[in-house]
């Protein structure tokens, strides 16, 4: 058998150079791949919100019963529950016609992809200062009658709920807003004790990778809004 000549083999220096090039290439690609993954997570969360809101609206019109898109936050609980559901999930409930004063859950709790959450900080919409998201939505206990929501995945967790309520005409019955619309923001990061912790920030330290959904007060329709600090409805095609 003919043995390869020394000239046909790679030297140690050549191998190290090739490995160095590969490492540098991978290092450059990782941030781009991570950014694409986070952007995909925001889009998936927005699409989930759009679908869930439309489902609740359509169900209210179909059944003639009020429906609710319910968002949980937590003042306590095991970390796995907080990581999966806190300010990053929702479920749809409906008034139970067979048991007046009660509600029934129509969907499971739907969580957003890892790395994104619903905005909790104050922001401005069309020049109007908006309260933080968690207090901006409706407190169920202030409704009449007040629905009682249960967080079944972890009954020991200290859940605090906020909601959107649709009436039988498909309109947003609560909360009532000065802007005649409800805005929901999705950002890259998480919420801890009611405070946004952004993983992608602007020069001022505010979340810079944000997307919004606008829900019309009068029609109940949800559409994407511009991903800026003063979001406006994004024109359709």
Please tell me the predicted confidence (pLDDT) of residue 26: 60
Record the tokens describing residue 34, joined without a space: 């991570």
CA–CA gap between residue 231 and residue 226 (Å, rounded): 5
Instruction: Provide the β-strand partners of residue 186.
Output: 118, 211
Report the predicted TM-score, pTM, of the whole model to 2 decimal places. Answer: 0.79
H helix runs in 113-235, sequence order: 133-136
116 has pLDDT over 90: yes
Kindly state the DSSP code that residue 78 receives in the 8-state scheme: -
- Single out the residue of 8, 18, 33, 42 nearest to residue 184, CA to CA: 42
Please tell me the predicted confidence (pLDDT) of residue 134: 58
Contact 208, 200 (CB under 8 A): yes
Question: What value, to the nearest 5°, has the Cα angle with vertex 188 and ends 201 and 173?
Answer: 115
The pLDDT tens digits of the residues spanning 144-164 come to 999 999 999 999 999 999 999
The three-state DSSP-derived secondary structure of 91-108 is EEEEECCCCCCCEEECCC
3-state secondary structure at position 164: strand
Instruction: Provide the β-strand partners of residue 233.
Output: 225
57 contact partners, CB below 8 Å, separation of at least 6: 67, 166, 170, 220, 221, 222
Please name each of the domains of the chain with its CATH number.
14-225 (3.55.40.10)
The pLDDT tens digits of the residues spanning 178-231 come to 778 888 999 999 998 888 899 988 887 778 888 889 999 999 999 998 655 555
Peptide bond preceding 72 in cis form (omega within 30 of 0) = no
41 has pLDDT over 80: yes
pLDDT tier, 123 (very low <50, low <70, confident <90, very high otherwise):
low
Average pLDDT over residues 5-16: 67
Torsion angle, alpha carbons of 127, 133, 136, 138, to 10: 150
Please tell me the predicted confidence (pLDDT) of residue 30: 46
């Amino acid at each position: 058998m003919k043995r390869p000549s020394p000239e046909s083999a790679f030297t140690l220096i050549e191998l190290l150079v090739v490995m160095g090039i590969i490492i540098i290439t991978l290092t450059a690609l990782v941030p781009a791949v991570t950014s694409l993954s986070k952007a995909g997570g925001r889009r998936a969360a927005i699409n989930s919100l759009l679908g869930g809101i439309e489902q609740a609206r359509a169900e209210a019109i179909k059944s003639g019963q009020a429906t609710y898109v319910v968002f949980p936050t937590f003042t306590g609980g095991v970390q796995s529950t907080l990581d999966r559901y806190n300010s990053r999930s929702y479920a749809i409930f409906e008034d139970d016609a067979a048991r007046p004063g009660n509600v029934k859950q129509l969907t499971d709790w739907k969580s957003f992809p890892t790395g994104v959450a619903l905005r909790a900080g104050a922001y401005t919409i069309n020049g109007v200062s908006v309260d933080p998201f968690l207090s901006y939505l409706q407190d169920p206990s202030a409704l009449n009658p007040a629905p009682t929501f249960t967080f079944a995945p972890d009954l020991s967790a200290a859940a605090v709920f906020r909601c959107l309520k649709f009436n039988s005409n498909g309109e947003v019955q609560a909360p009532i807003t000065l802007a005649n619309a409800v805005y929901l923001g999705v950002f890259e990061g998480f919420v801890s004790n009611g405070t946004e912790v952004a993983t992608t920030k602007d020069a001022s330290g505010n979340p810079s990778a944000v997307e919004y959904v606008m829900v019309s007060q009068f029609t109940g329709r949800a559409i994407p809004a511009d991903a800026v600090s003063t979001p406006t409805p994004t024109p359709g095609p």
